[in-house]
Amino acid sequence: MVAAPAPSREAVDSTLAPLTGYTVAVTAQRRADELATLLERRGARTIVAPTLRIVPLPDDEALRAATVELIREAPDLVVATTGIGFRGWLEAAEGWGMGDDLLTVMGRARILCRGPKALGAVRAAGLTEEWTAPSETGDEVVEYLRESGVNGQRVAIQLHGDPAEDFIQTVRDGGGAAVAVPVYRWTLPTDITPVQRLVDAICARRIDAVTFTSAPAANALLRIAGDQAADMLEAFRASAEDNGVLSVSVGPITAAPLTRLGVESVQPQRARLGALVRTVASALPKRSRKLQLATGHSIELRGHMVLLDDQPFQLPPAPMAVIRALASANGKVLSRAELLGHLPRGADGHAVEMAVTRLRDAVHLRSCVETVIKRGYRLNLEV
């Protein structure tokens, strides 16, 4: 997990990056550091908690059996889904003394690529592709297979960590014979503690957005969540006004496990890492809460930060929870007991008073929260 900056009672730089104040989680293993860096450059605080790890299978019997089968009975069509997987397949075949034979049968086949990385691996091997998916999605490959027809053809499908049922079923429905090539597989991390902490943070709504770059990663998060899955899904489904957590997926196939459970995911038009980051940077600021105080000051809530008259202040979790609850109340009084329900577990009534005091001190404006004698507190909003 990338270390988070300590909360500050002082105003931070007034030049705000688009993701300043927001906390974004990264669930990917591959290119996780790159994704986190791109988000941080836009001002985000990141939590890196890969929900899966890739296990290469150079000695796997299933991969070897598929390779032997394809050399013995050559494919008419080869589908390359990932660069790392395609290269791993060729390297494993080379280690078994089958490299030249595999390249020979591939050289006679039509080759489809799911994206530029798979394309690069195909060309690096001295092979030529027939077609590459323009938007780099599995859905496009499936549609191409349907339109071009596979009746009577033998189709080798290089898997990319999951069973790829859509590819295999499309080939079978079209009258072809599918040969699955399992180059590597996904498995849960050796240590799932960071992911369990992420689940806790999502359920507590201390995360503003979670990014997904593969469907298996989303499935693994649900699996690790276990008994907390229902609370986590509720946090994803909640609106921005209710401090919901935004799900951001690189594409529809990646989003599918959550979509089936009623979670809407924001997606870029192109399934690329840069586009994913730009989508996060565009979507989160639109979810900020802006309010006008009776004193003439304006406040904006964004993630773990409050903007007072466009001046940003970082807040600790408890004061941030208090001002979010008061903002959602739209000027109505909330009792200490009601506010206590929004604070971290184990807090007592005194913790509410301390959180209100720290909130007032943090933004240097005591009049922002009004004490209503014997009733509680309210945000002093303009009426």
Q: What is the pLDDT of residues 235-268, one digit of tens each?
A: 999 998 888 999 999 888 789 899 999 999 999 9
pLDDT tens column, 298-308: 889 998 888 88
Residues found in the chain: 383
The set of residues, in sequence order, having a beta carbon less than 8 Å from that of 61 and lying 6+ positions away, is none
Q: Where is pLDDT greater, at 111 or 297?
A: 111
Q: What is residue 15's predicted lDDT score, i.e. its pLDDT?
A: 65
Confidence of residue 185 (pLDDT cuts 50, 70, 90): confident
Confidence of residue 317 (pLDDT cuts 50, 70, 90): confident
293 shares a domain with 264: no
Q: What is residue 9's predicted lDDT score, i.e. its pLDDT?
A: 35
Q: What is residue 191's predicted lDDT score, i.e. its pLDDT?
A: 95
Domain assignment of residue 12, yes or no: no
Contact 43, 78 (CB under 8 A): no
Distance CA 363, CA 300 (A): 12
Domain count, the chain: 3
Q: Residue 186 above 80 pLDDT?
A: no
273 shares a domain with 294: no
220 shares a domain with 139: no
295 shares a domain with 280: no
Residue labelled with tokens 């941030």: 320
SS3 of residue 77 by DSSP: strand
pLDDT tens column, 108-133: 999 999 888 899 999 999 999 999 98
Q: Where is pLDDT greater, at 165 or 294?
A: 294
Report which of 322, 338, 313, 337 is spatially closest to residue 370, judged by C-alpha positions: 322
Which of the residue ranges 69-83, 150-164, 209-223 would you say has the lowest mean pLDDT?
A: 150-164
Q: What is residue 245's predicted lDDT score, i.e. its pLDDT?
A: 97
Domain extent for 368: 289-379
Domain assignment of residue 14, yes or no: no
Q: DSSP for 271-323, please give it.
A: --HHHHHHHHHHHHHHT-EEEEBTTS-EEEEETTEEEETTEEEE--HHHHHHH
Q: What is residue 82's predicted lDDT score, i.e. its pLDDT?
A: 86
Q: What is residue 18's predicted lDDT score, i.e. its pLDDT?
A: 94
End-of-domain residue from the set 143, 170, 186: 186
Describe the crossing of helices 193-203 and 229-237 by its angle, rounded to 10 degrees: 50
Average per-residue pLDDT for the chain: 88
Domain assignment of residue 163, yes or no: yes
Confidence of residue 58 (pLDDT cuts 50, 70, 90): low
293 shares a domain with 217: no
Domain assignment of residue 3, yes or no: no
What is the amino acid identity at position 296?
A: G
End-of-domain residue from the set 186, 217, 237: 186
Question: How confident is the model over 260-278, as a mean pLDDT?
Answer: 92
Q: What is residue 347's predicted lDDT score, i.e. its pLDDT?
A: 66
Q: Residue 341 above 70 pLDDT?
A: yes
59 shares a domain with 142: yes
Tell me the backbone φ, ψ of residue 111, rounded to 5 degrees. -120, 130
Distance CA 243, CA 206 (A): 9
Contact 110, 148 (CB under 8 A): no
The DSSP bridge pattern shows strands 246-249 and 265-266 to be parallel
Tell me the backbone φ, ψ of residue 299, rounded to 5 degrees. -130, 150
Which of the residue ranges 226-235, 312-321, 340-349 would you say has the lowest mean pLDDT?
A: 340-349
DSSP character for 50?
A: -
Question: How confident is the model over 369-373, as a mean pLDDT?
Answer: 89
The set of residues, in sequence order, having a beta carbon less than 8 Å from that of 169 and lying 6+ positions away, is none
Domain assignment of residue 15, yes or no: no
300 shares a domain with 197: no
Domain assignment of residue 6, yes or no: no
Q: Residue 357 above 70 pLDDT?
A: yes
Domain assignment of residue 4, yes or no: no
Confidence of residue 1 (pLDDT cuts 50, 70, 90): very low
Confidence of residue 192 (pLDDT cuts 50, 70, 90): very high
CATH code of residue 269: 3.40.50.10090
What is the amino acid identity at position 311?
A: Q
Q: What is residue 163's predicted lDDT score, i.e. its pLDDT?
A: 52
Q: Where is pLDDT greater, at 6 or 20?
A: 20
313 shares a domain with 249: no
195 shares a domain with 154: no
Q: What is residue 152's predicted lDDT score, i.e. its pLDDT?
A: 96
177 shares a domain with 65: yes
Please report which helix (H) or strand (E) contains residue 55, including its range: strand 53-56
pTM of the prediction?
0.73
Q: Residue 3 above 60 pLDDT?
A: no
194 shares a domain with 171: no
302 shares a domain with 270: no
The two three-digit tokens of residue 320, written as one number: 């941030």
DSSP character for 5?
A: P
CATH code of residue 358: 1.10.10.10
End-of-domain residue from the set 231, 258, 286: 286
Domain assignment of residue 299, yes or no: yes
